Structure 1
Amino acid sequence: MQLTNRSKVVVDKKMTFMERIYIPSIVSGMMITLSHLFKKKATIQYPEVQREFAFVYRGKHILKRDEQGRENCTACGLCAVSCPAEAITIIADERKKGEEHLYKEEKYASLYEINMLRCIFCGLCEEACPKDAVYLTEELVPAQYNRKDFIYGKDKLVQPLGTSAHPKTYKPYKK
């Protein structure tokens, strides 16, 4: 019983002498190999030569400060909600008397952690932040030996005092 109208005739064609010893195939493979010797190398000598990053590269996160040195983050949690990898953990707290010089608003993030192993550096946290507090720099996340060292707290994320408010001039997806 035939299921379709199509049929393919298989021909058992005898191979020629040259095809049996695979000389044409070997020669064509060697030509491809030899052509790669004269092409530009794709690899670079990394520690000595560093490749330029793309204009829209997103690297290590920072939590920005305002001109008075106060943290911009108000612990609204929009960055944590927008994170598809669920890499951001925030615990909000109320500002106490005498802490006006540290925090802009009454509510601040007492715990702000980003798990860099889970982060996919998509930049959605930067887009979602209404206070422009989260920022992705051009800095690489350094290699570590322990997994717990990749969980960045406020000690590693908050922008150091006296540094520029905008570490890079281009802000992807922001107008």
Structure 2
Amino acid sequence: MLKGLLETLRSMTEKPVTIQYPEVKRPVRARFRGRHILRRYENGLERCIGCALCAAACPSDAIFVEAAENTDDERYSPGERYARVYEINMLRCIFCGFCEDACPTEAIVLTDNYELTFTDRHQSIYTKEMLLEPVPEGGKPTPQKVEPGVYTRSIPIMQDPTD
């Protein structure tokens, strides 16, 4: 009995491990995976090219991507295509980071924001507008109008080494 009382007295003198949550927030670890964002280039164009590799890599099928073609009058990304519809169902997402690893343009990134709340199921579906980061300073919002052929790339033709 005396041993139990001594343990109680010792624990009363230790510093508590709890924090006052909304006022005091714990720092997150460097590799923490929280809320998703869709990144932009410095000129304001979206990095997402609508390839849907993130949706294919998602083990919980939480990502839906519908691609569309870019035009010179409406340019959203530097490539030929862009993500016209990009949705993530946060109730299905397991925050594994496979979408981040699969993206060839590093468009989708999991940030350190862990404060996600919903009052109904429709609020848990994050649309492209909710996921896109703000336009950087000096950039222009999408869609942009560009000169014809500015963002087309020429692919070099490989020469046959026997010629």
The question of a shared fold, defined as TM-score above 0.5 by the shorter chain, is answered with yes
Q: CA deviation at 1:130?
A: 0.6
Tell me whether 1:65 sits opposite 2:27 in the alignment: no
Deviates most, 109-118 or 140-149: 140-149
The partner residue of 2:64 within 89, 103, 108 is 89
The partner residue of 1:117 within 69, 81, 91 is 91
The partner residue of 2:5 within 26, 30, 49 is 30
CA deviation string 1:18-44 (max 9, x = no partner): xxxxxxxx4443333333212221110
Tell me whether 1:149 sits opposite 2:123 in the alignment: yes
Q: Secondary structure at the match of 2:106?
A: coil
Q: CA deviation at 1:89?
A: 0.8
Q: Which has the higher contact order (CA 8 A, sep 6+)?
A: 2
Deviates most, 84-93 or 134-143: 134-143
Q: Which runs of 5+ in 1 are unaligned?
A: 1-25, 164-175
1:4 matched to which residue of 2? Answer: none
Distance 1:99 1:141, change over 3 A: farther
TM-score by length of 1: 0.71
| 1:3-14 aligned within 5 A | none
The partner residue of 2:53 within 49, 62, 78 is 78
1:15 matched to which residue of 2? Answer: none
How many residue pairs get aligned? The number is 137
Q: Secondary structure at the match of 1:55?
A: coil
CA deviation string 1:71-92 (max 9, x = no partner): 1111111111111222111111
How much is the aligned-residue C-alpha RMSD, in angstroms?
A: 1.7
Q: Which runs of 5+ in 2 are unaligned?
A: 138-163
CA deviation string 1:135-156 (max 9, x = no partner): 1122234312112111100110
1:129 matched to which residue of 2? Answer: 103
Whichever of the two has the greater Rg, that structure is 1
1:138 matched to which residue of 2? Answer: 112
